[in-house]
Chain A
């Protein structure tokens, strides 16, 4: 079975597909065991996430440390692989982000990513952006931060690790806007508190770089609001968000060493 509709599964779950596309997905899923299992996994993660949110559970602060570790471990080779294999996650899956981040606090978060030998399914893509209003809420935004899995992540039970056709495994951090903002703010606070330890020109260089990335993020976000289906913009936005966390984490490390 080829041409798995990976990119459409989450939209299908959200009821965002038109009748024709929805029928096509349903037809495919009845014939394709791998996609059916992936869909089931996504349903289950979304269900668990809803339950989690109904209980009022929030990711622990340690989550951000875990994210930072993930970011640091995200070597270029892994980033490239991550950039090319993504699955659209929409509202229910976004809710799942909280759950996934809870997992991250234990050592790893997850998102679709192929195993080394897995064939590349066509059309795999990153989650979309705002739904056009420009408002940023957890349920509207669909942002994922690509990051390398930690050793602990690979030790997570398979039952909570959704798989995709070809043996791909969820192994990346999914991060909603508010949580990304919190992570970003945490790291920026470290930099702010430690700026006295650094030479002004070093602080300036870091701030200039952060500002450039912020501009890129904002421009990508605005573009995505106009063109939500644009997979390039989705990926571009996610990569710049990851890049910012990466830079801030690096800056925080410099502060600690100074």
Chain B
């Protein structure tokens, strides 16, 4: 450092040094030049984006900030992939072959949108550090397939008729509609699905409940750890509902040759089946009790009062009901579904028991 100071001192003695005012003026000029270059680049970029608007079918990359409202033309069965670190993703449908994205972004954040006729990808980003919460509202063709993911993101989908995949770490997932494969997952958030007609429906929550209403599927699998499972107006030959610490409530069809498994560790299993149901019912509990609105004829099954099998009708379907320390009830249909999210029913079991 001392050598550097000495050098400056020597140079200062022999070479004219610009004054501070002159140096500041030069710096300002350099900044003005940089800004002019940026502005020019920005204008060119904006012009390209406008051209992309008219060029449906061609890939269009858009990196936009501020308040975004953009629409791109697509085919009716477009696939839409959205990744949002935090905030919300809201999806609605319309009868146009186009995807509209409305987003409100902070100054440091931006959204990347890449669109072809068959795929639209939307991804959040940040110029500095982690992206802040961003709210996306998409309007899409009803037949669109959706792939939505986030970390701290709530997801709300209304009225789609395509496949839906949603995955978030912390946030509620609510979907109304969907067909084909419907897979919804949240670690810390409530998951709900209504009015879906899927081939395979898989719903996973970890620390909250899952609610299903008016859903038909070739297979419906629902799982959580801490939370209730409510399956209302379900029509499927293959249903599985499993939780560790929560109640399970089912009201739906039990089809001949179907498979139905409802299992919890600490909670109540409450299943409504219609008169005339044909099912082999397998009951297993350790500390709970079983009750049935139907006659229970255990035949020659003398294993235990808490583990046994009996038959309804011709026993065609298989219905497995398990609760380690909660009650198991087989009732007639028509009961009102338990209350919605956040309203925990009392459990038969006790965590600390």
A residues in contact (CB < 8 Å) with B: 75-77, 80, 83, 198-199, 201-202, 205-206, 208-209, 212-213, 215-216, 219-220, 223, 230-233, 236, 239-240, 243, 247, 250-251, 254, 257-258
Closest CB-CB distance, A207 to chain B, in whole Å?
Answer: 9
With known contacts A202-B169, A209-B207, A230–B226 Cβ distance under 8 A? no
Please, how many angstroms separate the alpha-carbon atoms of A66 and B284 in the complex? Answer: 32
| Contact assessment for A76 and B324 in the assembled complex, using a CB-CB cutoff below 8 Å | no
Closest residue of chain A to B151 (Cβ to Cβ) is A258
Determine whether the beta carbon of B225 is less than 8 Å from that of A201: no
Q: Tell whether A240 pairs with B261 under 8 Å between CB atoms, given A77-B219, A199-B152, A205-B187.
A: no
Q: Is there an interface contact between B187 and A212, defined as CB atoms closer than 8 Å? A: no
User: How far is B85's CA from A199's CA once the two chains are assembled, in angstroms?
Assistant: 13
Sample 7 A-B pairs with CB under 8 A, ordered by A number: A76-B221, A199-B152, A213-B244, A219-B325, A220-B265, A247-B225, A251-B187
- Beyond A212-B265, A232-B284, A243-B225, 11 additional pairs, beta carbon < 8 A: A77-B219, A83-B261, A202-B170, A205-B170, A206-B207, A223-B324, A231-B307, A232-B286, A232-B307, A233-B286, A236-B322
Number of interface residues of B (CB under 8 A): 31
Whether the Cβ atoms of B244 and A216 lie closer than 8 Å is yes
Residue of A nearest to B222 (CB): A76
Q: Is the beta-carbon distance between B188 and A230 smaller than 8 angstroms?
A: no
Q: In the complex, what residues of B have CB within 8 A of residue A223's CB?
A: 286, 324
Q: Which residues on B sit within 8 Å (CB–CB) of A250? A: 187, 206
The distance in angstroms between the C-alpha atoms of A250 and B261, with both chains bound, is: 24
Interface of B is mostly: strand
A244, B325: Cα distance in complex, Å: 19
Which of A76, A83, A201, A215 sits near B188, CB closer than 8 Å? A201
> In whole angstroms, what is the CA distance A208 to B245 when docked?
11
Complex CA–CA separation, A120 to B263 (angstroms): 21
Q: B6-22 vs A: 1/0 string, CB under 8 Å?
A: 00000000000000000
CB contacts under 8 Å to A, within B128-168, are 151-152
B266 at interface, CB cutoff 8 A:
yes
Q: What A residues does B307 contact at CB under 8 A?
A: 230-232
Give Cα A75 to B223, complex, Å. 11
B240 near A: Cβ within 8 Å?
A: yes
Q: B351 in the interface, Cβ–Cβ < 8 Å? A: yes
Bound: A212/B117 CA distance, A: 47
A208 CA / B208 CA spacing, docked (Å): 11
**B259 interface residue per 8 A CB criterion:** yes
Q: A170 → chain B, closest Cβ, in Å?
A: 23
Within 8 Å CB of B324, what residues of A? Answer: 216, 219-220, 223, 236
> When chains A and B are docked, how far (Å) is the Cα of A199 from the Cα of B188?
11
Contacts of A232 in B (CB 8 A): 284, 286, 307, 322
CA distance A233 to B263 in the complex (A): 12
Interface membership of B52, Cβ < 8 A = no
